[in-house]
Amino acid sequence: MTEASDRVLVADACRVLAARGLSDGVLGHVSLRVDEERLLIRCRGPHERGLAWTTPEDIRLVTLDGAEGAPGELDGYSPPNELPLHTEVLRSRPSVTSVVHAHPPSVVAADLAGIAIRPIVGAYDIPGAALARAGVPVYERGVLIRDRELAGEMVTAMGERPVVLLRGHGLTSSAAGVAQAVLQAVSVDRIAALSLWVRAGGGEPAELPAADLDQLPDLGSGFTVAVAWRHELARLGDTAVGPVHPFRLGSSS
């Protein structure tokens, strides 16, 4: 992998979030750890148009403290206010290389309605079912996570889980690769939307029986991450700016 291809990967991840409706407008960002001190992250530049139009030029190298990661990296660009949201996760979890922050309306609405992310689906979304079964915690403050203290609170709420909901705000997803972090967010959003539809239809979202969940197979990251990511890039059509990057995808959990 090269730094140039990593920038392409992060840019495409931002476009996927927008295409899936997880981060409309100019809100949300994706990061990728480069080494112990630096990360690539989507920054806002002089011609900001929103996540759906992210280009590799919008992906900038910064340090964990928000300084330039190389000369000229922040010329005309500024890191997101919520950079600490990314860096505190990376500081606390050496196995994590990518952090996604998005604002999915269904996730926010479901949480505010008191609907937890639970394994209400099975074979419909096997990785999502596994993620929900193990629990998706909630950080109960609807604040802008712009300093290390608030980010530390979020990380504490997150515990050992890969995804945490942010009350009245969105979600944070972390993984060993960019694609996995994005796909986790997509799964959580899907379950939240289904839960809201069930409630709107007069039902109550209910967990599947443990026996059914136990029967769900691990389809392997070659399918649940690599193939799923190719699908996400294909959905972008000509707006995708790069190919699949297998060594930065991560693996399913």
* Residue 82 annotated among the catalytic residues of the structure: yes
Alpha-carbon gap, residue 9 to 140, rounded angstroms: 31
Give the DSSP H/E element, type plus range, for residue 88.
Answer: helix 83-92
Give the DSSP H/E element, type plus range, for residue 172.
Answer: strand 170-175
Alpha-carbon gap, residue 224 to 87, rounded angstroms: 27
Taking phi first (over 0 means left), then psi (-120 to 50 degrees means alpha), and beta for anything else, what does residue 133 get?
alpha
Q: Which of 82, 88, 153, 207 is catalytic?
A: 82
A 10 A CB-CB count for 142 gives: 12
The pairing of strands 138-139 and 163-166 is: parallel
Cβ atoms 120, 201 nearer than 8 A: no
Residues whose CB falls within 8 Å of the CB of residue 157, separated by 6 or more in sequence, listed in order: 137, 138, 139, 140, 164
Cα dist from 224 to 30, 69, 90, 125, 183, whole Å: 20, 33, 24, 10, 9
Three-state secondary-structure class, residue 165: strand
Q: Which residues are catalytic?
A: 82
